[in-house]
Amino acid sequence: MIEKLRKYLLLLNGVLHQKKAKKSESILILFSAAFGDAILFQDCMRELVYKYPYEGKKRLRILCRQSVKDFYINSLGFSERYFCKCTYTKNLKDIKNAIKELGSESYKSIYAKDGALETCVIVSNLRASKVIRVTSEVEMNSRNPVNRYLVNKCFTDTTIVPMDTWELNRHAILLNRYENIQVNPVVSNMKSVLNLHPYFDNNKMYVVISTDSSAVYRTWNAEKISEIIHFITETYDYDVVLCGTNEYTVMDTSNRLINLTGKTSFSEWFSIIQFSKLVIGVDSAAIHVALSLGTPAVVLRGYYEGKKYFPYPVEACNGNICKCVTSKAEYNCYLCLQRKNIIKKKNPICYSQCYKKKGIMSCLNNINVGQVKDAIREIL
């Protein structure tokens, strides 16, 4: 609570004492998003690097999370010179380090993905002619009046899109409007870039399950995962490989479960996904990776972010298969992550389950095993 108050004071100081920007041709990408968004954003990033090449000075600066930075540099081959030495975190010390590193320059434009408190603290303390974002009216109006005022003071240009606008379309709109760059909003083909080799040596036939996420609310019930594992090993001649970062306990008596959670590098993880017959997961990075590598996928999706990430528009899939599974129950808390205060009044039961307990979202947890089995049958 004390650190949050300090962030607000630093934000208020930046808003009240905004520095005038000097003439500049440099731009800053403030990429606060997680790894899954980095998968979607990679083609846009290539276009920006092409337009703002390094010519003895840094015309393009990128501030992002460490995992995103490692992915772009080590896996996709982007030059390290475009990335800030510091990384984007919610830690106040790291925020101050970012301001210190970036504050000596002026920017023609700062592109920020969202209006999160940490983002606003950083941009309010930098010099820029424009601070730009693409967002929906629902996301803008979800904040309390004080937050809304401070966010609006930080951004000079805001493009409003419908709340269900797909994330990659948002990126394309931003680059088209402000950089005159035409980006085709389709899933990237990482096969040609990564040139991966099979992780397993013996032509193993397997299905990947990755139902964990950096956000606790986007995980799935371990008992249901166990049922899906049993179904796959009993019905098909496939092993099951568990991938991800968070350990979760599942029951398996078939001896055909390979648990690799937390045991693989980026390249190994990509390889496991590319050579699998199917990837099953929540709406997180593993599904974005699967579609970028041409692997069929089944995604378990809740209603908390609307259609911002899934389903992919058909024309954006490059022929890849992605089956979305959602709960059949009726909910009046659609897009609840952006409409928290409204949901508290309209659906107090869901609010108390999802927010106060900080567990799995009800709409995700209520997806039944039968629905997932049906989606698996359609693909396998």
Q: Are residues 284 and 232 in the same domain?
A: yes
User: Using N-to-C axis directions, what is the helix angle for 117-124 and 145-154, rounded to 10°?
Assistant: 40
What CATH number has the domain bearing residue 237? 3.40.50.2000
Tokens of residue 301, six digits:
């999706």
Q: Which of 154, 185, 216 is the last residue before a domain boundary?
A: 185
> Does residue 24 sit in helix, strand or coil?
coil
Q: Are residues 160 and 210 in the same domain?
A: no
CA distance 76 to 195: 11
CA distance 335 to 139: 9
Structural domain harbouring 199: 192-379
Given a cut of 90, whether residue 376 has pLDDT beyond it is: yes
CA distance 143 to 251: 42
Average of per-residue pLDDT values in the chain:
83
Q: Are residues 208 and 327 in the same domain?
A: yes
The 10s digit of each residue's pLDDT in 16-60 is 667 776 777 889 999 888 888 888 888 899 999 999 988 777 889
66: pLDDT confidence band, cut at 50, 70 and 90? very high
- Neighbouring residues of 31: CB distance < 8 A, sequence distance ≥ 6: 37, 38, 41, 62, 63, 64, 65, 68, 88, 113
Q: Are residues 136 and 239 in the same domain?
A: no
Mean pLDDT of 357-377: 82
CA distance 338 to 109: 26
Phi and psi (nearest 5°) for 174?
-60, -50
Tokens of residue 276, six digits:
């699998």
Mean pLDDT of 147-173: 85
Given a cut of 60, whether residue 294 has pLDDT beyond it is: yes
Q: Which of 185, 210, 232 is the last residue before a domain boundary?
A: 185
Q: Are residues 233 and 180 in the same domain?
A: no
CB 109 within 8 A of CB 133: no
Q: Are residues 202 and 181 in the same domain?
A: no
The count of domains in the chain is 2
Question: What one-letter code names the amino acid at 151?
Answer: V
Q: Are residues 224 and 148 in the same domain?
A: no
303: pLDDT confidence band, cut at 50, 70 and 90? confident
Q: Are residues 181 and 196 in the same domain?
A: no
The most confident of the ranges 240-244, 249-253, 374-378 is 374-378
Q: Are residues 106 and 228 in the same domain?
A: no
Q: Are residues 316 and 266 in the same domain?
A: yes
The 10s digit of each residue's pLDDT in 320-347 is 888 888 877 666 666 676 666 566 666 6
Q: Which of 185, 220, 254 is the last residue before a domain boundary?
A: 185
Helix (DSSP H) and strand (DSSP E) numbers for the chain: 16, 11
